Structure 1
Amino acid sequence: MNSANGAAVVVGVDGSEPALRAVRLAAAEAARRRRPLRVVHGFIWPLLRVPVEPVTDAPPGGGLRHQAEDLVARAVAEAEAAEPGIRVTGEIIDGEASAVLLGETPTAALVVLGDRGLGGFGALVIGSVAVQVATYADCPVLVARGEEHADGPVVVGVDGSPASRAAVEFAAEQAALRGAALHAVHAYRHPHSDGPGDMQPLVYQESKLHDEEDQVLAQSLAGIEERHPGLPVTREVVRERPVAALTAASRRALLVVVGGRGLGELAGLLLGSVSHGVLHHSACPVAVVRTPE
């Protein structure tokens, strides 16, 4: 993840209410991290060869380009009102929203976006832009959905994979920044797998299995309390489907953090089934943390 000095928190806007919620969430993140906030709008119309300037004799302020400038200006004002004192800039970039935001991720500290935007299909629980950016981003992606439960912990899903270890570190940083506890959830249905294709025993003892799964969680949390002194850390090992367990935890959480892919995912999935499921069902904001391929 990009932690270079000066790296901005980037938020994508399209004029929708979910995007404005994302702006407020992004402003809070920028303030906590003491980073600038960059408001970005992907302006697709020039690519479609649609005229974007006002037509002759049109009233002042007409044209698609002006509308885009206006929505970015409103988003910048929203951020400045939400977190006075942060440095906010706005930019319109020609291109489709997902491509524009993905182009920001190599140099961003974090990308924030709404769970749905304008032009999404009504039946979709989460927009295609959010899924695409979370799938391919080179930095953590924070999706504004549900509500932050003020007294709740930062919840992180753990399965022992490199992706979940990166998620644990990001979640610990978030909890420390927010003055919240870290709650690590390890959900299992079968004995722990070290990789795709591992053979599972046909018979196993439940108490022994629980102890082994608890050890997986302990190993994933190793060193967190030393790196984040004073951070309250709680653990939960539950025999449940991971999406169901994390969705339940989200109902009292400030934030849920998941890795981009974990153990047991289908090889062709760039965004794992667990992270995808949590994005669709969480009752609070979700951060997806990918590891380099």
Structure 2
Amino acid sequence: MELPIVVGVDGSDAGLRAVDWAVSEAGLRGLPLRIVYADVRARPGKGAAGLGSATPPDRDAARRILERAARRAQGAGTEAKISTEAVGGDAVETLLDEARHAAALITGCRGRDTFVRLGRGINRSLAARAACPLIVVRGDATALSARHRRVVLGLGAAPVARPVVEFAFGAAEVRNAVLEAVRAWRAPAHELRAHPLIVGDPPVHQRDRAVQLLEDALRGPAADHPKAVVCRAAVEGRVDTVLRTRSTTADLLVIGAKRHYGRTELSLGRRIEALLQHSACPVAVVPHSP
């Protein structure tokens, strides 16, 4: 059974841009598309069609939102099989449940908020807990229509999990795009002064460590994707600032988030949250184990 691409909609233009992205993603990967609307005023199990105890106007609103989203998807000329559903309950919990049976979960973003009328922080909650990769569709219509043919993979200081790198290779492959792996580095303050245990220029030492991390992370996946065009960039600066800059000429930014067993949420960190809010292109957050 093929897992679908799932996109959450709320009736906003940001939600429709997420549908556009989801249609494209489903087409590129040859997967079905599932469009979901969460009606926070309804509760499951108390009414027909999964709309709980919502009043008729609420059911009408849900139907209109889903029909508009479906028309948008069909208007893109996709061959993907499209299904829609309105579910009663909290948007975050609804989409988390959908993520358990999805190849990827896609949401929209308007300014600093996602599903604005449902409240701030929904993307952060989804990124922290979703069982599948979450793609937050950032950027306005003009930016999203651009085709840079470049996927950026942001690497942190810790060894990078294979699933994150594999996802980035796959994203670049289906788009016929260059994969740019980026590792930001900064010399600690104490290394900016003379240090008896460091031979050579301290910033060069930090840069070389970043270059080695890139090589270690890419070696295995690159061998499995011999036709992939890969660029490596070790860049001095704050990781969120470096990746935000690179996102201006990218089709997708891929970052990993570590899942700690026994905890309900991923440890996202302020820098990942900053990218979810300020990236110039869509951001894919790929969960992985320590």
Superposed pair shares fold, TM > 0.5: yes
Deviation at 1:120, TM superposition (A): 5.5
Aligned AA for 1:248? T
- Equivalent of residue 114 in structure 1, options 83, 108, 112: 108
With structure 1 as the length reference, what TM-score do the two structures score? 0.83
Compared CA separation, residues 120 and 92, structure 1 to 2 (3 A): closer
Compared CA separation, residues 135 and 260, structure 1 to 2 (3 A): same
Deviation at 1:252, TM superposition (A): 0.5
Deviation at 1:180, TM superposition (A): 0.2
With structure 2 as the length reference, what TM-score do the two structures score? 0.84
SS for the counterpart of 2:42 is helix
Deviation at 1:206, TM superposition (A): 2.1
Deviation at 1:201, TM superposition (A): 10
Q: Is contact 1:27-1:83 (8 Å) kept? A: no
Aligned AA for 1:66? D
Distance in 2 separating the partners of 1:210 and 1:160: 12
> 1:28-87 CA deviation, whole Å, 9 max, x = no partner?
001111110000111111249996333xxxxxxxx1111101111111111111143210
- Equivalent of residue 41 in structure 1, options 33, 37, 42: 37
Who is 1:59 aligned against? Answer: none
Distance in 2 separating the partners of 1:207 and 1:236: 14
Deviation at 1:208, TM superposition (A): 2.4
Q: Is contact 2:35-2:70 (8 Å) kept? A: yes
Distance in 1 separating the partners of 2:237 and 2:258: 18
Aligned residues: 264
Deviation at 1:136, TM superposition (A): 0.6
Deviation at 1:144, TM superposition (A): 0.6
The runs of 5 or more residues in structure 1 that have no matched partner are 55-62, 122-126, 192-198, 263-267
Q: Is contact 1:159-1:217 (8 Å) kept? A: no
Deviation at 1:164, TM superposition (A): 5.2
Who is 1:19 aligned against? Answer: 15
Compared CA separation, residues 81 and 163, structure 1 to 2 (3 A): farther
Distance in 2 separating the partners of 1:160 and 1:224: 19
Aligned AA for 1:173? G
- Equivalent of residue 282 in structure 1, options 279, 282, 287: 279
SS for the counterpart of 1:138 is coil
Identical pairs, percent: 34
Who is 2:262 aligned against? Answer: none
Who is 1:250 aligned against? Answer: 247
The runs of 5 or more residues in structure 2 that have no matched partner are 47-51, 260-264
Q: Is contact 2:6-2:104 (8 Å) kept? A: yes
SS for the counterpart of 1:290 is strand
Who is 1:124 aligned against? Answer: none
